[in-house]
Every structure is written in C-alpha cells, then in structure tokens.
Structure 1
Amino acid sequence: MKNLNQWYLHLFLILLSLSTVGVYFLFKNQTYFAFLIWNLFLAWIPYILAVIAQFIHTSTYMILRKIILIAVGLAWLLFLPNSPYVLTDFIHLTILKDSYVEKGALSFTYWYDFFVIFLFAWNGLLLGCSSMYIIQKIWKERFNPFVSWLIIVLTALLCGYGILLGREYRLNSWDAFHTERILEILRETLHQEAFVFCLLVGFVIMTVYVTFYVLVNSIGSSRHSSPYTNEKSRR
C-alpha cells in the first residue's frame, strides 16, 4: 500500500467540503435539506478518528498505546457508517417527487437538489474511503495484507448494517450506548430482507473502496518509468 500524502489529502477534503457547502447555500431548499450539512459533519468524524489512530500507531512514546489505539479504532468503526450513509439521502427526492413536477415534467429544482445531494454523497464516500485506507494500512503493518483485507470486508458489511439501523430505525452512532434499545432492534433485524440489505450495501461500499484503493496504488506511473526503460535497464 502506498502512503497517502496526508497534508494534501487533508487540504483537498477540506476544500471539497467547503465548496460543497458553498454550492448548498446557493441552491438550498430552505425548508428541507439542512440535514445535509449535519450528515457531512458526521461523515468527517471517522476520517478524523482514522488520522488520530494513525498518529497513535506511529507514535513511539505514547503510554498505553495499544489500548488507546483499540479505543479509537472502535470509535472509528462506530461512526464509519455515517460516511456512506449520505448516499441514502437521495431517498428524499423520491419522498418529495410530487413537489418537483411542474406542468407534467420535472422542474429544474429537482436537478439542483439531485446534484447538491450528489456532492455531499461524494464527499462522504471520499471521507469514508480515505479513513478505511488509513485503518487498513495500520492493520497491514501490524499483521499482514490478508488480515487487513479481511478486516475491511467485515467493516464494509458492518457499515451496511449501520446504514440499515440509521435509515430504517433512525438510530445514531451514539445510540450504541443505549443497550436495551439496541438489543431490541437487533432482534427485529434478524430476517432475510435485512440480511440481503446488509450484503448489498456492504458490496457497494467494498466496490467503491476497492476502486479507491486501485486508483491510489495501481493507476499511473513515474514519468521516467515505462516498459521500454525497464527493458533497457535489464540489458
């Protein structure tokens, strides 16, 4: 795995989020879509936690480093579903579909809202993928590539379940501390439709993440590197 240029990545994600919020204020529906900014804020939390985990992982002087790293990692896993969760905000276009119809056709307002939601969803996916990449690299360095990929697959499936709890049962990440309510809802989700939902969403998250991983590690090459130069160097 290649190392991410953290400062460039931080700057890029900050500028992307600021520009997205700017577009939102240009096109916002003042009666409904204010939740997008809150959801984007929640999508930032797992990324920040992943950066903290990386700092702890590379620190050689921190007392109780492993215990703190585990605690931060669990918090990261708890908040991670908030990043891809923004994708599900497209459902509001369906809920409000009748309000977008003018003279038998979709109004421009529909398309404004569609692309604004897309920008927020894109932000969330990039934040989620970046944090997953950082965490996978930590696992790879502590164990091996196989374990790191196994953790990522399990994480994607758990994200699918987290999105199910958030969208269908209206739970937030901090509701995990309400043990009785969580256990009751866990029993309610033990059915086929929930299982298929988690598999599908987990597969979508893995597809997006693997795309991100391949783009970071496998696409492009050094300007001075080519099959011809490599062949010449072997002669």
Structure 2
Amino acid sequence: MAVLVACIAVVLLNIYAIVLVRLRSAVYGVPLYRPMLLNIGLSFVPVLVSLVAVAGLLGLPALLSLTALRPRAAAVAVWVYVVVGAIVWVLLFPNSIYLITELNFSHRRDGDPVPLWYDIVQTLTLTLSGIANAVLSLAVVQTAFLVLVEPNAIGAVPASSWALAAVIIVLGAVGVYLGRYLRFNSWDVRHPVSLLRKLRAHLRQRGKALEAGGFVLTHAVLIALIYVPTYLLGFGALAA
C-alpha cells in the first residue's frame, strides 16, 4: 500500500508541475514556456520505460513458452531483452535528474510580471518532480535487479544492487552535465564519435574538467542522499 501511495504521489507531483507552468502563462499573461513542459514529459519517460520493461519481463517467459524455442535459447532471449531495455533506460534516466538545473530560473525575463514567489514554487515543484521520477524509476530497476540476480535476498538490500544504483546515479549526473553544458540529448548516442570529440574539446578548456567533476559529484551525492533512505523504506514496506 505504501509503495502504491508513493507512485500516486509521484504522478500528482508531475501533474502539479504541469499545472503551475500553464497557470503562469494564463494568470500573468506571459508566453507559455514550452521547454519546461517538454522537460517534464522527458523526465517522466524513464518511469514509463522502467515499468513497461518490468511488465514485459514478467510476461516474456510465458510468451516464450508458447514458441518452439529451446530453454537455453529462451533464456538468452530474456537476457537480450533485459540488456536492451537496461541500455535504453540508462540513456533516458538523466532526463529526470536534469530538472534540477531548472533552478537557475533561466525562464525569467527582465520585467516579467510573474512574482518571484510563484516562480520559486513552480521551479521547485518542477525540480522535485524530476527527482521523484528518478527515484521511482531507479527503484523499479534496482528491484528488478534483485529479482533477477539476488532472488534470495531477505531482510537487507544486497551490496551488488547498491553498486548498480551508485553507477546509475553517477551516469545520470554525467548525462545531466552533458545535457546542460554541451547540449547533448539521449539520442545523440547514435553519433558516439562526434559526441566524444566534442566532449574532449570541452574538457580541454581551462577549468572545465574540474568543473565537470564537481558538478557530477555534487549532483550524484544529492540524488544518493535522497534515494538511499527512500529505497530502504520502500524495501522494508515490500518485505513486511
């Protein structure tokens, strides 16, 4: 029940963020800031992908049992599905954390009639929705990992799943840096050579490597401090 309430709260937080963005335009007569709406949608995509992927994983063995595949081939098919789904989700995951960077209030313009207090609440809601999306989708993936790799885990969360979560959080922070400062998107991975060339040129600039390291570290620690206790509470509720 607690897990269901948490999921509903995440959805409501996203809806509230959308409502505030639209009300800003309707109430104060300013242009609708569409990039925020797009970012909210992109932020929620990892949640959908994780839930759909896990649902598919639950039904895949039954589907494969109806085919003529041998058990070994069926097992390979399952793991191919897991690997492909995991790669897609990891590439999309930074979109959730990215909403933290909206706290720079880049949407405000000189002379805006919108009160600062409104933009504070709107942007904070936007940021919290992104963090909530990141926590929920990562929790789904970590739990799926436990079911696949550590099915006998009882009472405590295995260290292997924490290692997985830590790697994903760091990769997410790296993705946010690439998105904010180099303007990369998840789909730019289709051009890895160009991506690496631009990244190398960026990091060769004076102070940029140190800046990137500090950015990734501070963002990763923030997400970890929120995620770890939240997941422990959820794991305890499921185990109860």
TM-score, length of structure 1 as denominator length? 0.78
Task: Indicate yes or no: 2:122 matched with 1:116.
Answer: yes
CA RMSD of aligned residues (A): 2.6
The residue type paired with residue 61 of structure 1 is A
The equivalent of 1:209 in structure 2 is 227
Partner of 2:33, secondary structure, is coil
Please report how far the alpha carbon of residue 69 of structure 1 lies from its aligned counterpart in structure 2 after TM superposition.
Answer: 1.8
Shift of the 96–183 alpha-carbon distance from structure 1 to 2, 3 Å rule, reads same
Deviations 1:74-109 (A, max 9, x none): 11100101101111011125x847546xxxxxx861
* Distance in structure 1 (CA, Å) of the matches to 2:139 and 2:164: 11
Query: Which residue type is aligned with residue 13 of structure 2?
Result: L
- Answer yes or no: is the 8 Å Cα contact 2:43–2:96 preserved in 1: yes
Which residue number in structure 1 is paired with residue 177 of structure 2?
Answer: 164
Residues 43 and 124 in structure 1, CA contact (< 8 A), matched pair in contact too = yes
Quote the Cα distance in structure 2 between the aligned partners of 1:205 and 1:121: 12
Q: Which has the higher contact order (CA 8 A, sep 6+)?
A: 2
Query: What SS does structure 2 have at the residue aligned with 1:61?
Result: helix
Give the counterpart of 1:142 among 148, 155, 167: 148
Deviation at 1:199, TM superposition (A): 1.5
Q: Superposition pairs for residues 79-94 of structure 1, below 5 Å?
A: 79-93=92-106
Match of 1:15 among 12, 15, 31: 12
**Structure 2 residues not aligned, in runs of 5+:** 65-76, 151-157
**Unmatched runs of 5 consecutive residues or more in structure 1:** 101-106, 223-235
- 1:25 deviates by 1.7
Give the Cα–Cα distance (whole angstroms) in 1 for the partners of residues 62 and 53 of structure 2.
14
Q: Note the C-alpha offset of 1:9.
A: 5.3
Number of residue pairs aligned between Structure 1 and Structure 2: 210
| Amino acid in the other structure paired with 1:136 | Q
Counterpart residue number, 2:135: 129
SS in 1 for 2:105: helix
Contact 1:50 1:134 in 2 (8 A): yes
Give the 3-state SS of the residue equivalent to 1:52 in structure 2. helix
2:84 is the alignment partner of 1:71: yes
**Hey, what does 1:173 align to over in structure 2?**
186
TM-score, L = length of structure 2: 0.77
User: Percent identity over the alignment?
Assistant: 22
For the residues of structure 2 that align with 1:39 and 1:177, how far apart are their CA atoms?
Answer: 21
> Deviation string for 1:181-226 (max 9, x for gaps)?
211133233722212221221111111211321342458xx9xxxx
Cα gap change, 1:157 to 1:52, in 2 (>3 Å): same
